[in-house]
Structure formats: structure tokens, C-alpha cells
Structure 1
Amino acid sequence: MSKKVRVGLLTALAIAALLFAAAAVVARARPISNIPDLVLAVGSPYVALVALAGLIVASTAKRTTLSVFAVVVIAAALAVQVSWYYLGQRPTNEGQHVDIRVLSSNLRYGQADPSFFVKLAEQNADVITAAELTPEAVQRFTQTGIDKTFPYSSLIPAPRAGGVGMWSRYPLTTLSVARHRGISIPAVRLEVPGVATEPVLASVHVYSPVAGENNTDPEWRNGMAGATAQLANFAQIAGPGAVIVGGDYNSTPDMRQFRDLLTDGYRDAVEQLGAGFAPTFPSNSWYPPLLTIDHVLTRNAAASSIRTIEVPGSDHRALLATFEVPAG
């Protein structure tokens, strides 16, 4: 291969890598409206690596302009990821508060190991939000003794991925909320000792934009629109009280519709704490999880900790989070 052909090939590879990386940065900035934009956006956490490869190839080919462009793309890709995962701005809570510990988990068609799940909850949680809650899973959890520690519940089990629910150590009152296409998001009010205004707790499961091999992006967009409406409704119901909404949003922070949920005081616990990059899905493969699609959003509450944990039988890592809820 001649030097000229080699340089031309390297230049073409560098251009392809950098165009892909730049397109992903652009896709992250605008609302998702189709599958190509979705693929580009969810790949954003890894775009800096693609751009770095482009920089190496461009430098090898001695393409100065391409190299400079690569540096710009790398800087842009890193800026959005670092600011989300590592530069948290946790509010200072100067008043009295009560800690509420949350376990949020997608049960994978109810197949999560009941003994592990119940023990995990007993040791680490005050409330539980569950997605893909089947009637069989409710029966197994009950037989394992979940009701002994969490005697209060609001459960809407359904076959396969359709069910959601909540368990609580605290007395709860189920709220009547509007239904929206593409999303399940029931809610309750919690009677927490020492907390004057009852917090609102909700369990969420947004329809996936890609269900099996089908393009279900319209259903996902309907679901995210429903989530926006319900979060606004919860804020109105709670008033000065806390709102905690945990579950499977089927959305990463790189999808614009998810970031648009963070208005009216809502924060993502990972982003609030700067807790670091911790993908949750898929957790049942030979390779590590790649996508951060499970979240706990809060309003009028400060996250003090959050971590992920593998749950046998599920294809999602669960979230364990603690929130400081104002007492007054």
C-alpha cells in the first residue's frame, strides 16, 4: 500500500469516527424523535472514546485540522458526561430532616430472586418501588415474608412487564392519578414519623422505545410526556412536601426528554450527588451494564447516598438511595 493510499484511508477513518461522535453530541442536545437519534444519544457516554480514536488516527495521518476538530469533540463529549456524573451540587440542609431509604428495582417479569430481594429490602430500605411486578412475584415475596417488615403496600401486578407497585414501612394512602399512554406511575402519600408534610412516593415504568425487535419509540415518547404531566401533578399535590419517584424510565440522561423532567425543582439523585457513572442495564450478560435507565427523581429532598446493586434473576441493577426529607 502506497503512503498516499494509506494516508487517505486513515483520513477517511478519522472523518467517519469524528462525524459519528459529533452527531451523537448533537443528538443528545435535541429531543429524540426516531431510532437513529436514540442510538446516537444513548451512545453518548462512550463517544469520547470514539473521538479519541479519531484523534489518534488523524494525528497518525498528520491531519492537523482533523486533529483540532477531534479535540473539540472530545472536550464537548466529556463536558456533558463529567458535569452529570461527577459534579454534583447537593443542597445544604440546615434544618431538621428525616432519612428515607429507597430500594428501586425492575424485577424482570417478576423473576427477581425473592429471598435476596426481601433480605436486601429489610436491611437497606424504608420504602420499595418495583417495576415489572407480576402476580406470581407478589405471591413469592409474600411467602418470603416481605409483609412482616413492609406491612403497607400499593400493588398493581400484571403479567410480564405491565405491573408496578410499592411497599412501605410507613402507613400510606393511595393517590388517584390520571392515566397516560406508555407509562405506569401510581403514587401514594406516606405517613412518616417526624415529617409534618406527607411525602409523595411513586413507582414508575416507562414503555421502552425498543420493545423486542419493534420500534416503539412513539409509545416511549407518549410515556415521557405522561411522566412530565404526572411529575407536575405530584409537585402540586405535595406542595412543600417531598416527592420521590423511582423506577425504570427506559431513558438515559443523554436523552433530552429525560433531562426535560428535571424542572420545577426535580433532581436526579445521581446527578445531584455526582455519584459517578453507574449503568444499570443489562445486568445479566457476560459484559457489564452499559445503559443508565433506572433513576430516582426527587423534589424538596436531598439525596445523601445512592448505589447500584445486582439482583439475581433481574436484568436491571437495583438502586439503593437515601434522601433527607425536611421535617417541617
Structure 2
Amino acid sequence: MLVIVALAFAVATLVIRALPLPNNLALVIAVGSPYVVLVALLGLVVAVLNRLKVLSIAAVVVTAASVAVQVHWYYGGRSGGVAAERVDMRVLSANLRYGRTNPAEFVELARRSADLITVTELTSEAVQRFYDAGIDEEFPHSMLFPAPDAGGNGIWSRYPLTPLSPTRYWNSGMVAARVHIPGVPIDPAVASVHITSPMGSFESWRNGVTATKSRLIGLAETVGQGSVVAAGDFNSTPDMRQFRDLIADGYRDAVRHTGAGFVPTFPSDTGLPPVITIDHVLTRHTNVTSVRSVDIGGSDHRALLATVEVPIASSRS
């Protein structure tokens, strides 16, 4: 009976993962997909130990399928190599947890590791603390929309920024700008993204994913053959069909692109390692050479650090 229950649950998870999520119950099951591999493996071990031949064969198939969908996302990619003519742009993306992130620690991390910063849950108080910590000394350009609680969003940059159309991109879900990088013929677009949590309202989350997809398509149309980087808290894991559908029109997830491995980002404040991957860096017409997560004091998310190659030549990888 244990074998049948374990395998049935693993199969149900694979089916739920493959289809658009209809509600939060299905969402929670899909989010647990990386760990359901262990459930399938348990079924396999029990079936083998009890010499249940038919169930053992079924368990091998289910376990292999459960492993395959995870390996394909986290370990199946490969960076496209180093372009001969490019500018390396280092991106730091962080959820500030209602602006509670330690400002001195965050600014020092940015100074060492980033050329461009995207932040979500940016409050007015956090903006002031970041300026007090000297963020403007090395990141003099910014586009900030602070708001109470989780509503704020913003970008800091070493390079000059030109805001994109407010009617299309400025809201709590996305802030976007063109980045003026010397030697790059087409100014890339960068966006700071925050999709509302499905735990608050599943419908709001689903609508947010749909709106974000539309805005990402709009960014792609705006820059044409130029590069796009969209980073932030998507409140979505790769096991949610809606998130995978969002990555279209030439966009790629940095972790999948590089094969960086399982990079969970949330929650990071429990004393245990994070267990789910809800923060992402998406790119278009640019090669990602590295992506990793880092702890930042005061937040319940790990931040992401990614290095992307913005091509100087007119052709794009």
C-alpha cells in the first residue's frame, strides 16, 4: 500500500506540474515537486525490498520522470561561452523584506559585486538608509518608486538610465528603464519585477503573471535586437506551469540557461537553508555567464547575483 500511495502521489504531482495551476492547493503540490523525487524513490526502495516486480518497474519509471524534469531545468543548460565583443554587466537582484535589509551590508555587497541593482519591497525609509550608507557614491543613477510594505520597486545603476513609458511599465509590479552602456549600440532594457504572492490571493498572482508576460513582450518589442534583463521576486517556481509559460519570446531563465543547479532563495531567515526558488533573473538577447544566490541580512529572500554579457556587435546570441 505504501508503494502505491507514494507512486500515485508522485504521478499526481507530475500531472499537476504539467498543467496550468487552478488553485493554491495545486500550487503547493507543484512547488514541492523537487522533493517529491524522494517520495518516488521511497516507493522504489520499498518495492524492490519487497520484491514487487511490477511495482518496482513502475517505480523506476516514475522516479526517472520525477528526476528528469528537475535535472532538465537546473542542470541541463550551458552558458553560450564568452562573446568576443561584449560588456559584462553584473546584476544584483534583491527582495528587501519591507525595506528591512541591512543597508550597510547591502551597499557593500553591491559595491563589490554589481553594476546594476534591482530591488523589490522598497520603502521610503529604506531609500533614505541606503543613501545614508552611500549607495549613490557608486550607483549615481536610479529610478525608485518606494511604497509602504511590499509595494515599492526600484533600480540603481552605475550607468545612466532612461525611464520607459510609465503607462506600460511603471507600477508596483514592474519598473523598467533603458541602460546607457558605453560602446553598446542598442541600449539594453532592465526591469525590476515583483509579482504578488499567491498565498495572499491566487487570482491576483495569476493575473500578475499574465500582466508580467505582456510587459516582458512589450520590453522585447521596445528594444528590438537589444538586450533585456528582468530580475526580481516572481513568487513563482519553475514547477509552476504559468511561470514556465511566462518565459517566452526569446527570454531565458538564468539558472536554466547556465545549468547553475538548484538555487533556492526562500525562505532564508529560518536558520535552515532556503527550500524554494521564487526569485529569478530572465534575459533576452544576452548570454549569462554566471548566477548565484547570496544571503543578505534582514531579508527573508536570498539575493541573486548574475553576470550577463551585453554584446557590442549588432548580432545577438
For the pair shown, which has the larger CA radius of gyration, 1 or 2? 1
The whole-number CA distance in structure 1 between the counterparts of 2:96 and 2:123 is: 9
The aligned amino acid for 2:284 is: R
Aligned pairs for 1:317-328 within 5 A? 317-328=302-313
The whole-number CA distance in structure 2 between the counterparts of 1:27 and 1:327 is: 43
Match of 2:9 in 1: 20
Match of 1:170 in 2: 159
CA shift, 1:126, in A, is 0.4
The whole-number CA distance in structure 2 between the counterparts of 1:177 and 1:13 is: 56
Task: Determine which of 71, 78, 82 is the counterpart of 2:71.
Answer: 82
- Unaligned stretches of 5+ in structure 1? 1-11
1:31 aligns with 2:16: no
1:201 aligns with 2:190: yes
Secondary structure of the equivalent of 1:36?
helix
CA RMSD of aligned residues (A): 1.5
CA shift, 1:70, in A, is 1.1
Aligned length: 313
Match of 2:202 in 1: 217
CA shift, 1:48, in A, is 1.1
Match of 1:7 in 2: none
Equivalent residues of 1:183, 1:223 under 8 A apart: no
Aligned pairs for 1:55-66 within 5 A? 55-66=44-55
The aligned amino acid for 1:116 is: E
Task: Determine which of 74, 91, 106 is the counterpart of 1:102.
Answer: 91
Aligned pairs for 1:226-245 within 5 A? 226-245=211-230
The aligned amino acid for 1:147 is: D
Equivalent residues of 1:194, 1:327 under 8 A apart: yes
Match of 2:285 in 1: 300
The whole-number CA distance in structure 1 between the counterparts of 2:90 and 2:276 is: 24
Report the CA distance shift for 1:93/1:240 in structure 2 as closer, same or farther (over 3 A): farther
Equivalent residues of 2:267, 2:276 under 8 A apart: yes
- Unaligned stretches of 5+ in structure 2? none
Equivalent residues of 1:183, 1:227 under 8 A apart: no
CA shift, 1:62, in A, is 2.8
CA shift, 1:242, in A, is 0.4
Equivalent residues of 1:102, 1:320 under 8 A apart: yes
Report the CA distance shift for 1:29/1:137 in structure 2 as closer, same or farther (over 3 A): same
TM-score (structure 1 length as normaliser): 0.92
TM-score (structure 2 length as normaliser): 0.95
**What percent identity do the matched residue pairs reach?**
56
Secondary structure of the equivalent of 1:210?
coil
